[in-house]
Structure 1
């Protein structure tokens, strides 16, 4: 697991509280396949390549995630 304490978040998702909101980081020192780091509010994280993250962003922009029910 990457130590994110020295990384600056690129984006914070929520930001309306102090609950440990999910955040997006770019770890330039990590191997290319683990450079993007997404954390959740439970202290877990996902690491992926910039290409993998770009694919998620493109799918979201194309509306492929619109059917996910947000309660």
Structure 2
């Protein structure tokens, strides 16, 4: 995270967390514009920013099995 943004962001979840590789994390930035409030960081230092509505749609799709085929094909 960068300087000023880091202090306002609220950590929600770490994905994996079983290593020291800089696992992907989910954050909420209450000071960001609504369309960029959700922040997902990866272990390469990249960020994805989206709205709470977009995150909700993503979670619904995951719960409904939309990405299951991708996960099965990747094994």
Instruction: Count matched residues.
Output: 70
Superposition RMSD in Å: 1.5
* Rg comparison, structure with higher value: 2
Q: Please, what TM-score do these two structures have when normalized by structure 1?
A: 0.89
Unaligned regions of 5+ residues in structure 1, if any?
Answer: none
Q: Paired residue for 2:6?
A: 5
Say whether 1:22 aligns with 2:24.
Answer: yes
Structure 2 residues without counterparts, runs of 5 or longer:
none
Give distance in 2, aligned partners of 1:36 and 1:60.
Answer: 17
